[in-house]
């Protein structure tokens, strides 16, 4: 961060010819009415954001990523897609998580409400420059065509461009015809992609809908340089009903027997239950419960964090839904037949805080009541 601020004149200089073609520069000046001044104002804006980053990084453990990203306008829907915002956010996260790069990318990818894909990719690129590739090893193999992507990136970085390659634009109609031809050629094991690369063709068994009016064909194409292309083609027609065939083996026989036993002796539905805890900072609390105590997150957003273990975190502003002095302990529970549960609460003269109604804009119903000890209970309809 210090280097960027100190060397601002180096990275912020307006490129000159031939970096910017004269004809492009002329059009920019003509249409934007003072492109150079606009460039300078953008530079000043970026430097202001860099100062914010430097101040926050100096706080060390007292600085929280979500708060900083908010100051950098990452959650401002009007400008969050701007390149300057994404670039500065990536610089901050890469600086903050230089010693733990995978968490830097994860933080960028899950900054819900920001331009996550852009910021995460830029953060990953910067962290890769700093730390190399070893930190990506645990996840790289799970990425489709990772070797192909790595090869393309290396060629781009080395400036390896095949000047002789000329690919004509592929129109929607020609692409549809190409797909139809590939799917129809059932005996073909090799074809050419629209960009003229060779590709091997492998097929998975087609599937016919239960009513026999739809058929789905599955193809996998692997190009000669390692890219994978999947094609699923849906056709309408009269294909006849198709019952799935299953070979009877000892394992399948045992599984079927156990399934029959389960159907004869149904287990009770699994319903969620646990405490809902209003907190002053979701990020700090997640760091405590996940990072320190080892709980695992099931669902996370700006408004709620749900752990697999049953705990739910909500912003402290959530308590504004309740009358002053009413709030003690907040629990939530899911029930299968919420109207009868609500009637039972009413019939037993328990205090109802919120009558049975829809939750926000959703169709899911809920109500709130007090238990015999005065603890607040939120009862939700099981989804």
Give all domains of the chain, ordered by start, each with its CATH number.
2-142 (no CATH), 172-236 (3.30.1300), 273-381 (3.10.180.10)
d(CA 322, CA 354): 9
Q: Measure Cα distances from 307 to 66, 272, 334 in Å.
A: 19, 11, 15
Per-residue pLDDT of the chain (383 residues; tens, 9 = 90+): 888 999 988 888 887 767 778 888 788 878 877 788 888 999 999 999 999 999 999 988 777 888 899 999 998 888 777 888 999 999 999 999 998 898 899 899 988 888 889 999 999 999 999 998 888 887 887 889 988 998 898 888 888 777 666 777 888 999 999 999 988 887 778 999 998 889 999 988 888 888 888 889 999 999 999 999 999 988 888 887 655 544 444 455 445 544 654 555 444 455 566 788 787 888 877 876 676 556 688 888 777 888 887 888 888 887 776 666 555 567 777 888 899 989 988 988 888 999 999 988 888 899 998 876 676 888 888 87
Query: Is 118 part of any known ligand binding site?
Result: yes
The alpha carbon of 106 is separated from its chain's Cα centroid by a whole number of angstroms, namely 10
Query: Is 67 part of any known ligand binding site?
Result: no
Contact (Cβ atoms closer than 8 angstroms) between residue 94 and residue 130:
yes
DSSP per residue, 324-353: TTT-S-EEEEEES-HHHHHHHHHHTTPPEE
Take residue 75 and report the two structure tokens written for it: 């959650």
Radius of gyration over every alpha carbon of the chain, rounded to an integer in angstroms? 29
pTM over 0.85: no
d(CA 265, CA 307): 30
Give the CB-side neighbour count of residue 340, counting CA atoms within 13 A. 3
Q: How many residues does the chain have?
A: 383
d(CA 56, CA 180): 56
Query: Is 9 part of any known ligand binding site?
Result: no
């Amino acid at each position: 961060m210090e280097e960027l601020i100190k060397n601002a004149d180096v990275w912020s200089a307006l490129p000159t010819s031939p970096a910017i073609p004269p004809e492009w520069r002329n059009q920019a000046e003509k249409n934007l009415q003072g492109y150079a001044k606009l460039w300078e104002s953008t530079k000043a804006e970026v430097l202001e954001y860099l100062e914010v980053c430097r101040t926050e990084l100096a706080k060390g453990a007292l600085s929280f990523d979500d708060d900083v990203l908010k100051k950098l306008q990452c959650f401002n829907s009007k400008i969050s897609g701007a390149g300057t915002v994404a670039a500065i956010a990536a610089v901050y996260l890469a600086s903050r998580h230089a010693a733990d790069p995978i968490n830097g990318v994860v933080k960028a990818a899950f900054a819900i409400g920001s331009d996550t894909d852009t910021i995460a990719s830029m953060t990953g690129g910067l962290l890769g420059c700093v730390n190399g590739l070893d930190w990506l090893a645990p996840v790289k193999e799970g990425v489709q065509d990772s070797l192909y992507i790595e090869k393309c990136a290396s060629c781009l970085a080395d400036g390896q461009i095949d000047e002789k390659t000329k690919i004509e634009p592929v129109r929607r109609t020609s692409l549809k015809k190409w797909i139809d031809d590939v799917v129809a050629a059932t005996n073909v094991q090799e074809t050419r992609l629209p960009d003229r690369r060779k590709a091997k063709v492998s097929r998975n068994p087609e599937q016919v809908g239960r009513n026999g009016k739809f058929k789905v064909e599955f193809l996998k194409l692997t190009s000669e340089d390692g890219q994978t292309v999947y094609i699923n083609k849906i056709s309408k027609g009269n294909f006849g009903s198709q019952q799935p065939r299953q070979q009877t083996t000892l394992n399948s026989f045992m599984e079927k027997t156990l399934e029959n036993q389960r159907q004869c002796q149904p287990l009770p539905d699994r319903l969620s239950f646990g405490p809902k805890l209003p907190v002053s900072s979701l990020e700090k609390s997640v760091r405590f419960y996940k990072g320190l105590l080892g709980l695992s997150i099931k669902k996370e957003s700006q408004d709620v964090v749900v752990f697999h273990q049953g705990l739910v975190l909500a912003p402290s502003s959530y308590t504004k839904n309740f009358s002053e002095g009413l709030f003690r302990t907040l629990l939530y529970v899911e029930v299968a037949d919420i109207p009868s549960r609500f009637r039972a609460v009413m019939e037993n003269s328990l205090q109802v805080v919120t009558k049975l109604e829809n939750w926000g804009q959703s169709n899911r119903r809920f109500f709130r009541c007090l238990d015999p000890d005065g603890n607040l209970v939120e009862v939700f309809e099981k989804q």
